[in-house]
Each structure stands twice: as structure tokens, then as C-alpha cells.
Structure 1
Amino acid sequence: MSDLDGIRRRYAEELTATLALRSKRLMEALATVAREQFVGPGPWLTLRAPEGYVSTPDADPARLYADIPVALDPGRLLNNGAPGLVAGLIDALDVDEGQHIVHIGAGTGYYSAILGEMVGPSGRVTALELDRGFAARAARNLAPWPQVTLIAGDGTRHATDRADAILVSAGCTHPKSLWLDGLLSGGRAVIPLTGVRAPPPASRFGRNLAGQALLVRRQGDRFAARFLVGIGISFCLGARDLIHERLLIESFQTGGASEVRSLVRTAHPRDAKCWLHAPEFCLSRREPDARTGGV
């Protein structure tokens, strides 16, 4: 084992312990995939509060094995996200060997490679990236994982084969019907819902809209839902509109996000159990059951 292999292994073990990650496959993937292959040559700009972007003192890849975002395009405030956040979201998806995972907003491919390691050679990852430059880099970076297919396209419009899990790595105002319909029965999706202004210092770094990551689990035509963690993340351009943003802001400001239990897609009148009631869906406080369209 090289020194860098050992550093990567300790990084994976520390994240697993700190976050209480359940998935051994995730820990092994974090210990295997070389982050330095996905973030360009060093030295690197890392995002730290309250300073903002700070350069590493040198190009030693060991500096990347920390819970920090690394700039991919600092001019647009686009980063390879903090492992402590993204690993927790992946862990919630219960990814296993042989599954089909869809990753929307693949960036330059690091977390798509993590997912590829987790599903193994018998599984599949469909990774979508809208930015053409990032997509080209991701396609090159992901070549060692033949089970990962990189599509340069809009993940809010591009239909894929139905998936065991979907990870959306961009901020939305609402879950797209395409994603919910694209889940297999028992499938899971993590969708960041963002719309409120982040407090300083995060607002200084372009993360002016924050929110929470929503976990959705499908059973037939019914969906359980709960919020996982607060998040500030770049926009998902095809999954935002002003109507849903207003509803989301009102709901977050009212509070009670932790009470959400189901995502209802059947039409029903707004009532006291509706945390966010939108034209095409409702995030409800009701325990999911057949009457409400939950699980």
C-alpha cells in the first residue's frame, strides 16, 4: 500500500465514523477512488468558511482527502462537493451491487465513480452532466469504470432506464415527475430542494439559496419522503421555477420540515397535514398510506 493509498483509506474510515455511514461498499469506494484524478492539477482552490476560496500550499494530492469542497470552476462557484455532505446523501440511497443508479449533475465524475465502485461490474451508473466542458472531462475521468455511462445532456429532460436510485447533485424547487416515474418500485431518490437565502458566510460564496435534501422512496405508485440534512448547492436549471420557489420559501419559513412523511401525487384539497401543497405534488405530514398516495 502506498502512502497515498493509506491516506485515502484513513479518509474513508474517518468519514464513515464521523457520519456513521452504514454502507461498507461506500467506505470501500471512498478508499479506492482517487479524488485527484477528477479535480485537475494542483495546487487546488478549496472552499473554506469564512475565508472563501483558499489555495492549497502545494500540489500534494494528500491535501484533497479532507471534508472540503474543491473548486472546479471558481469563476462560477462550481465545486467538487464536500465529501462529508455527499457521502451522507449517497449512504441514504442504500446503493448495492448490481443496481442501476442515475446521477444527475455529475460534474467531472468523482461521485459518479464512487457510485460505479459501489454497484460493481454487474451494475450500472447513468451519469448526466449539462455543462459540456465538465461532461467531456467526466467522460475521460470515468473511462476506468465501464459500468458508468456519461451522457452530456439535461438530466431534467433526458429519460433513462428505470433506476434503483437517483442522486441529484443540484438544487431544485421541486421534484421532476420524470425522476419519480423513473424509479423502480422500492427505488430511492435524493433531491435537494433549495429556495431560502443562506446566512453568512455561505451567502458570500454564491450559495445564496439553501434548503434541505429530500429522500424519496417509491413503493408502487406511492412515495414516502423525509428531509435529511440542510444543503446549499448550485442550481438545477431545469428543475426550478418561481411558483415552486415561492411555495418552498413559505414552507421553510413556516417551519416543520422535519414533520414531512410522504410525497403525494394524487389530487386532493389542501389541509393542515400539507407542509407544501403544489399543483403537481404535496409534501405531507401524513404517515404514508394508500389513501394519500404515500408508501
Structure 2
Amino acid sequence: MFSGIMTRIEDIRKFYARLMAANASSPDPRLETVFAEVPREAFLGPGPWTIIAGNGKVTTPSADPAHIYQNVLVALDDDKGINNGEPFLHAMWIGKLAPKPGEAVCHIGAGTGYYTAALARLVSPSGTVTAFELDEKLADLARQNLEAYGNVTVVHGDAVTTPLPASDIIYVNAGVAAPPAGWLKALRPRGRMIFPWRPAERVPLAVMVTRTENGFACDPFMRSWFIPCVGASIADPAATIPTREQAASSRSIWLVQDKAPDRTATAIFGDVWFSSKSLDARPRTGPRK
């Protein structure tokens, strides 16, 4: 009986992984393998589980893991609004980042570690993942859940105020008004960062940043909403807040210390600003106005 149940769950997990990979449209076949082999239920605590459905909540009828191998949000801390995020979205974001063996990843807002585990598998055997989680309870659970992953270090701490390690990938799972300058500086050449950009309530975007020889290229590629990142989710009153159109037109990010904001600025947040100018755009000729 037990063997039959395990075979059934493995089959369900494989189909779930196939859906994840198809939604991600990633050319990397390892993405499907990882989602098939990392057991989601091991990171959610004992069932039954609370599923977030629109503005409501539904409790699974039992602790059968089959219930959570769908594109559903599963509550981790209902009181704080923290959940194990939507699998389709994470599969697509991870596929877009294209982790490679040997790369160094920084995961900000790791929760209980499910997507951290996927990242760890994708950068194995020589790559590493540093997982930041501000909530002490969740950080402890992540540390336990990821104990078998020798290339993961879980940090119970504030990724906004704590210097990040040099990273090929920074994966942010908490909404920010703007990425702290330290996050941009931590990106290695050709490094990639995805973060949920929430400069205003009306502007929820996911942004991909790539560090190039010429600076930080910026690609707002979809709408998204994540729980706010403590310490980085509220813009300073002096900030220049973008409209949805301005935010969507952003094509590069600059550190003020490297370049002062100019007429291409779409948003300005202290020492970081966004520009509508692509890094590969040719410089204008003639005098500036």
C-alpha cells in the first residue's frame, strides 16, 4: 500500500513538473527534473494545508500531498500573509534567470526554502545559495528543511541592511520601492537579478536586471505582487515615483554615484534611479538642453 502511494505521488509530481517547465518555456531540461524531484510537501509543514484562493481560503480535505501539486498558493504564516508562492510564477522567474552549475545565488525572502532548494539543485554541484529570511520562525524551518542541501547557507537576517555576498543571481521574493544600491553592487559581471518592483500601490511589476559592461540593463516583464520587503518597501518622500507607463518604459538602472539622474529618468529613489534609455542606445549628438 505504502509503495503504491509513493508511486502515485511521484507520478503526480512529475506531471506537475512538466506543467511548470511548459509554463516557464525554459530551454533547460533540468528545470523540469528539479520540480519533479524536490518534494513541495516537505517545505510546507504537516497537512492539511490552507490554500489561498482569490480573496478567500480553502483547507485541503486531507494531508494528501496530491492537493498541493497544483498552481496554488499555500499559507506558511496566515496571520502575516506569508505563503509559499505560486509555482507557475516561480518556475518562470527561475527559468528566466537561467541558473548554471557553479553560480552563486542570493535568495532574499526564502520562506521555508522550497524555491531555495530548486535554485540549489540548479547550481549544483559547485554553486552555492545564500538564503536570507527575516522571520525567525521561517528561517529556522528553512534551515531544517535545507539541511540535506550542503551548498545552502540560511541567514536569519535583514538583506536590506546586511551586505550581500558577490552573486551571479539575486532572487528577490519581497516587494521593494527600489532595489537597494548594495544589491546592485553585489551583482557580478553578467549577473542577473529579479525583484518585485512596487514603487507605488498602482505599479506592481516584476523586473529583470542584468549587469553588463555598460551598466545595469532593466526589463520590466510582467505584473506581480509580493509581500512588502521590510526596510525597502516604502519610498522616501523626496523620491520621484513613476506612473505605470513610466515604470514599464524603464530600460536601465543607475547608481547616482556613477551617473546623476538626467532627463531620461523615469524614477528616482535616493542613490538609485531608473532610466528609459537602453544601455545599447547610441548617445545623442549635439548640445544638451
TM-score (norm 2): 0.89
Instruction: Give 1:115-264 correspondences, 5 Å limit.
Output: 115-197=119-201, 211-220=204-213, 222-243=215-236, 247-248=240-241, 250-252=242-244, 255-264=245-254
Number of residue-to-residue matches in the alignment: 276
How many Å apart are 1:220 and its aligned residue?
4.1
- Label 1:245 to 1:40 Cα distance change in 2 as closer, same or farther (>3 A): farther
Unaligned runs of 5+ in 1: 199-209
The residue identity in structure 2 corresponding to 1:124 is T
Give aligned-pair identity as a percent: 35
CA distance in 2, matches of 1:178, 1:195: 18
Moved more, 12-21 or 167-176: 12-21
- Label 1:279 to 1:161 Cα distance change in 2 as closer, same or farther (>3 A): closer
CA distance in 1, matches of 2:25, 2:247: 23
Contact between 2:139 and 2:156, CA under 8 Å: does it hold in 1? yes
Instruction: Give 1:34-73 correspondences, 5 Å limit.
Output: 34-50=39-55, 52-73=56-77
| Structure showing greater Rg | 2
Unaligned runs of 5+ in 2: 1-5, 284-289
CA distance in 2, matches of 1:141, 1:191: 24
TM-score (norm 1): 0.87
Q: Which of 23, 26, 38 does residue 18 from structure 1 map onto?
A: 23
- 1:101-156 CA-to-partner distances (Å, cap 9, x unmatched) read 00011100001001011111211011111111000000000011111111111111
The residue identity in structure 2 corresponding to 1:181 is K
The residue identity in structure 2 corresponding to 1:15 is M
- Label 1:88 to 1:245 Cα distance change in 2 as closer, same or farther (>3 A): farther
Q: Which of 87, 93, 96 does residue 89 from structure 1 map onto?
A: 93
- Label 1:59 to 1:170 Cα distance change in 2 as closer, same or farther (>3 A): same
CA distance in 1, matches of 2:140, 2:278: 44
CA RMSD of aligned residues (A): 2.1
Contact between 1:45 and 1:53, CA under 8 Å: does it hold in 2? yes
Which portions of structure 1, spanning 4 or more consecutive aligned residues, are displaced by more than 4 angstroms? 289-292
Contact between 1:247 and 1:278, CA under 8 Å: does it hold in 2? yes
Contact between 1:8 and 1:30, CA under 8 Å: does it hold in 2? yes
The residue identity in structure 2 corresponding to 1:74 is D
